Amino acid sequence: MASLSFLHLSSATRFTPRGTPINHRARTQKSFSIRSQSAPVLSQDELKKLAADKAVESVKSGMVLGLGTGSTAAFVVDKLGQLLSTGQLSNIVGIPTSKRTQEQAASLNIPLSTLDLHPHIDLAIDGADEVDPNLDLVKGRGGALLREKMVEAASSSFIVVADDSKLVSGLGGSGLAMPVEVVQFCWKYNLVRLEGLFNELGCEAKLRLAGDGSEKPYVTDNGNYIVDLYFKNPIKDGFAAGKEISAMEGVVEHGLFLGMATSVIVAGKTGVEVMTK
């Protein structure tokens, strides 16, 4: 299990993902915390922005940056654009993980490139859908899991930003979607196989729809479909699960991001906390 770092949390229980306390009494405390004296009630977007702003403090001029996708990552991109416009940052290059992020970054005049031209990335910053005590993640509910994994795997450091609703005791524990990107050809065949693979965990597999009121499937930036897996019980062994999913013909990528995050910045009621390995 990864060593987690926190400050300013009462007792030995450092966070309670989905109602399950995790005890870290013996772990080294080597982090910072930002706490409000008046303890205002912040919205989820305000919490995400707090985490994003802290993550951007790690960005230095001249860096090549992986730019994530999703609502939390959008706050990161906004902050980078602001710092560039005021001259507080310069000469950075962004590698976007989706067309949506590319468009946002371009609108903020953030210089952009690709992995082809910059195969080594200094730092990637992205959100997560679930974070477990080992800093393993579920990502991809925004539909960009393949490009996110490619960019973040090429990064020397990978900072995850999240609000405390994303903390779970085990991956799949939120009961929300764990995405698997599959080719369009015979997608139903793979949906049935994926559901059967995790039958003992009460898994239900659903094809992701476009969300425009039609029954059209959602199509990724890579021209593929997404099968979302919903678990009644958390995944017992993420690495074994990821290996079995990847072994299926027609599977392009899965949303288990294992052993990739170097730190996770979490905003919650107690302030901003940093979890590190």
Q: Which residues form the catalytic set? A: 148
CB 218 within 8 A of CB 141: no
CB 207 within 8 A of CB 217: yes
Cα–Cα distance, 190 to 205 (Å, whole number): 10
3-class DSSP string for 24-91:
CCCCCCCCCEECCCCCCCCCHHHHHHHHHHHHHCCCCCCCEEEECCCHHHHHHHHHHHHHHHCCCCCC
Report the run of H or E that residue 187 belongs to, with start and end: helix 187-197
Cα–Cα distance, 214 to 239 (Å, whole number): 36
* φ and ψ of 259, to 5 deg: 65, 25
CB 140 within 8 A of CB 84: no
